[in-house]
């Protein structure tokens, strides 16, 4: 198995999240279901729809390279303009700050996304012969509504890991210090197996590791599942993340 990364956090369950929110109108959606940003009701408390609240505990793995590539479309290598082969995937993030009794959009948070290509290779990794290349990496700052969008591709696979995409969110905690959240996004086995049968993924064949055999996925990955829907020639997926910015231990650099 690749030393891709260690488990990065504890997933707060539905009951604990509702206690944290402390509002009768708060709701928690299951990961991968349609989500929305925080909404306000004139008759009651603010309603917050969350996929999950993740508390990072360990490193993000050896394939994160902090190149500060500010771009929404991460498919190309900036040096050549050549796009990575694969089916397009648009990721729509909603980042929210969770405090007792309220959940509000988190603006100006730096959201990083990085992943392997359709054949399981990461860019800018010397051991993979991709030094100096920058495909499938980039960041966006969330807007006033806590939203950030990326255009990438469905990831390929490599030995020992199920299909996944890495994310990192950097912002400022309530103590005024840097706050960092790191995790991974996954796909259902059915969706993954289906697209791996299409080109260019089919050249490598079926993945050797699925969700139920991936030790990292088994520690909370079910709450980080994407639910892609067909969009044009590719897919689109929404994902909302709530962060407790008062938890200084969680916010420490990974």
DSSP string across 165-221 = EEEEEEEE-TTSSEEEEEEEEE--HHHHHHHHTSTTGGGT-S-S--GGG-TTTTTTG
Identify the burial level of 212 via C-beta atoms within 10 angstroms of its C-beta, where 0-12 means exposed, 13-18 middle and 19 or more buried: exposed
Q: Looking at residue 63, what is its pLDDT?
A: 86
Fold of 76-242: Protocatechuate 3,4-Dioxygenase, subunit A (2.60.130)
- Tell me: cis bond preceding 200? Omega within 30 of 0 counts: yes
What DSSP line would sit under 54-119, residue for residue? EEE-S---TT------B-SB-SB-TTT-PBPPS-EEEEEEEEEEEETTEEEE-TT-EEEEE---TT
Residue 192: its pLDDT value, please? 98
What pLDDT does residue 1 have? 42
Domain ranges of the chain: 76-242
How far apart CA 179 and CA 177 sit, in angstroms, is 6
Instruction: Convert 49-75 to b/e letters by CB count within 10 Å (16 or more is b).
Output: bbbbbbbbeeebbebbeeeeeeeeebb
CB 142 within 8 A of CB 108: yes
pLDDT in tens, the chain (254 residues): 444 544 444 444 444 444 344 332 333 333 333 333 333 334 443 445 554 454 433 346 678 999 899 999 999 999 899 999 999 999 999 999 988 778 899 999 999 999 999 999 999 999 999 999 999 999 999 999 999 999 999 999 999 999 999 999 999 999 999 999 989 999 999 999 999 999 999 999 999 999 999 999 988 888 889 999 999 999 999 999 888 898 877 677 76
Rounded to a whole number of angstroms, the CA Rg of the chain reads 18
Look up residue 126 and give its DSSP letter: G
């Amino acid at each position: 198995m690749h030393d891709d990364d260690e488990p990065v956090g504890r997933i707060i369950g539905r009951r604990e999240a509702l206690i944290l929110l402390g509002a009768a109108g708060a709701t928690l959606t299951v990961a991968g279901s349609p989500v929305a940003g925080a909404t306000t009701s004139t008759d009651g408390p603010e309603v917050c729809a969350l996929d999950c609240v993740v508390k990072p505990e360990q490193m993000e793995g050896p394939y994160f390279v902090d190149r500060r590539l500010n771009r929404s479309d991460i498919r190309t290598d900036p040096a050549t303009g050549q796009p990575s082969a694969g089916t397009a995937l648009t990721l729509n993030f909603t980042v929210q700050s969770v405090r007792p009794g309220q959940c509000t959009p988190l603006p100006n948070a730096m959201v990083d996304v990085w992943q392997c290509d359709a054949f399981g290779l990461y860019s800018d990794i010397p051991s993979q012969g991709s030094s100096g290349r920058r495909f499938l990496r980039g960041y966006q700052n969330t807007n006033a509504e806590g939203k950030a969008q990326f255009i990438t591709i469905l990831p390929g696979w490599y030995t020992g890991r199920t299909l996944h995409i890495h994310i990192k969110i950097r912002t400022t905690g309530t103590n005024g210090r840097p706050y960092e959240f790191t995790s991974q996004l996954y796909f259902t086995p059915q969706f993954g197996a289906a697209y791996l049968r299409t080109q260019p993924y089919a050249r490598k064949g079926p993945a050797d590791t699925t969700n139920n055999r991936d030790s990292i996925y088994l520690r909370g990955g079910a709450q980080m599942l994407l639910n892609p829907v067909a969009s044009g020639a590719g897919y689109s997926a929404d994902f909302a993340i709530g962060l407790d910015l008062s938890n200084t231990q969680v916010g420490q650099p990974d």
